Amino acid sequence: MFKFFKDLKNKAHTPVFSGLEILKYIGPGLLVTVGFIDPGNWASNIAAGANFGYTLLWMVTLATIMLIILQHNVAHLGIATGLCLSEAANKHLPGYISRPIIGSAMLASVSTSLAEILGGALALNMLFKLPVKIGAVLVTALIVFLLLSNTYRKLEKWIIGFVSIIGISFIYELVIADVSWNEAVIGWIKPQIPTNAIVIVMSVLGAVVMPHNLFLHSEVIQSRQWNLQNETVIKKQLKYEFTDTFISMLIGWAINSAMIIMAAATFYQQKIPVTELGQAQEMLSPILGPAAGLIFAIALLMSGIASTITSGMAGGSIFAGFFGEPLDLKDNHSRLGVYISLFAALALIFFISDPFKGLIYSQMILSIQLPFTIFLQIYLTSSKKVMGKYANSTWTKFVLLSIGIVVSYLNIRLLMSFL
């Protein structure tokens, strides 16, 4: 009798992979997607389009391909081991190595939250003329409420809603703008770096591949509580995870591309240089009409809220990993990680006199930490001790190491350009 109920329980957690069943797997990837359509991306993409037209669209394509490979790989870690990146580092590496890396990742989470909260505060300033610091307090309070009063699945639905609003907003902007689609297609597939464009090229890449997203994806991919003792289920979970990751990253690619195209079709065409998000919003109205500026600000607000939710979750996951625990927003360790990520970022905002420079400095901190996270991931997912038979193949290791070297080099160049 006991065996009957045990088998029944296992079957209840074994998905039936048919037809629209795949829709049950769409969600974790979208949480990661909002991390690279955050306010920092807006600044980089609008600068790229306003200064260089359609020519840097290829960088979004290349960065997204790299991101798909990295996120797909780190999701495998979560599925195959049941551990997030922070937990796996704590379990499989000596403390003198794991703790500094996890600590630096926590600092990166704070830096990310700073940019996300700042972006939401700037949007509130555009919409209601609220001072940036007051707006930052309101955004932080809203995020804490959403994180601590909702289950993961509810948060996932909120994120899907926010991403949908951002996507619809940019579709509207593109419809009313005079876009040269021939130039856009060429820009997507033809690599070229115009004079004085290297800093923006690197900032576009650095804003797409972010350390907190790698920690977060390995955590939230485990939200589908299937019976992972069943090898067939694990294989199918790995297969369907890629679909979720690919579709979600493709949405992110489309939204990032839309930002550059919108800026190219308006500011570049009018020969208007743009250096701040508020300036971009103010200039859209006379070019495309009052509704365009309003929709821009609303989409930025949605981006700031959504990305702050994910950076807070990442902070909780990373901090819980210090104690060998998974993310659980009802657990004190996870909650403390959320508080550190959000409130430390909020405190720093009160010392920032120039919000635009604050966004730049936050990206610099991410650039410093990113190589540590990428190579930590490669080490863990390549280890048979950690992954068993799901460890990276020789070819996969080569691809991942190549990406790690390229991303690290370009992010270090980005850092050096601001020093």
pTM of the model: 0.86
The residue that leads in pLDDT, 394 or 6, is 394
Residue 282's pLDDT is 72
Average pLDDT over residues 287-311: 88
Q: Both tokens of residue 233? A: 């289920």
Q: Is the pLDDT of residue 229 over 80?
A: no
Q: Which residues of 191-223 are buried (b: 16+ CB within 10 A; e: fewer)?
A: eeeeeebeebbbbbbbbbbbbbbbbbbbbbbbb
In a domain, 11, yes or no: no
In a domain, 10, yes or no: no
- 319 in Cβ contact with 106 (< 8 Å): yes
- C-alpha 212/C-alpha 314 separation (Å) is 6
- The domain of 246 spans 24-417
- 309 in Cβ contact with 146 (< 8 Å): yes
Using pLDDT thresholds of 50, 70 and 90, give the confidence band for residue 25: low
Helix (H) or strand (E) holding 96: helix 95-128
The residue that leads in pLDDT, 31 or 76, is 76
In a domain, 170, yes or no: yes
- 120 in Cβ contact with 304 (< 8 Å): yes
Residue 140's pLDDT is 97
In a domain, 16, yes or no: no
> 94-108, 131-145, 220-234: lowest mean pLDDT where?
220-234
Instruction: Of 115-129, 161-175, 288-302, 358-372, give the range with the top mean pLDDT.
Output: 115-129
Average pLDDT over residues 299-314: 91
Using pLDDT thresholds of 50, 70 and 90, give the confidence band for residue 225: low
Residue 222's pLDDT is 78
Residue 136's pLDDT is 96
User: For residue 130, what is the domain's CATH number?
Assistant: 1.20.1740.10
- Looking at every residue in the chain, the average pLDDT score rounds to 84
Residue 64's pLDDT is 92
Average pLDDT over residues 136-148: 94
Using pLDDT thresholds of 50, 70 and 90, give the confidence band for residue 188: very high
Average pLDDT over residues 275-281: 72
Residue 32's pLDDT is 82
> 214-223, 277-286, 373-382: lowest mean pLDDT where?
277-286
Helix (H) or strand (E) holding 317: helix 290-321
Residue 201's pLDDT is 80
Give me the percent of the chain exceeding a pLDDT of 70. Answer: 87
In a domain, 12, yes or no: no
Residue 1's pLDDT is 38
Instruction: Of 12-26, 117-131, 143-157, give the range with the top mean pLDDT.
Output: 117-131
Using pLDDT thresholds of 50, 70 and 90, give the confidence band for residue 228: low
- C-alpha 287/C-alpha 266 separation (Å) is 7
Residue 340's pLDDT is 97
Residue 308's pLDDT is 92
Using pLDDT thresholds of 50, 70 and 90, give the confidence band for residue 349: very high
In a domain, 215, yes or no: yes
In a domain, 103, yes or no: yes
Using pLDDT thresholds of 50, 70 and 90, give the confidence band for residue 374: very high
Q: Is the pLDDT of residue 63 over 80?
A: yes
Residue 407's pLDDT is 82
Using pLDDT thresholds of 50, 70 and 90, give the confidence band for residue 366: confident
- C-alpha 365/C-alpha 24 separation (Å) is 36
- Going by C-beta distance under 8 Å and a sequence separation of 6 or more, which residues neighbour residue 221? 28, 75, 78, 79, 241
Helix (H) or strand (E) holding 226: none
Q: Phi and psi at residue 38, in whole multiples of 5°? A: -85, 175
When divided into structural domains, the chain yields a total of 1
Using pLDDT thresholds of 50, 70 and 90, give the confidence band for residue 419: low
In a domain, 13, yes or no: no
Q: Which amino acid is at 373?
A: T
Using pLDDT thresholds of 50, 70 and 90, give the confidence band for residue 4: very low
- C-alpha 208/C-alpha 396 separation (Å) is 21
Average pLDDT over residues 384-397: 94
Q: Is the pLDDT of residue 176 over 90?
A: no
> 95-104, 125-134, 357-366: lowest mean pLDDT where?
357-366
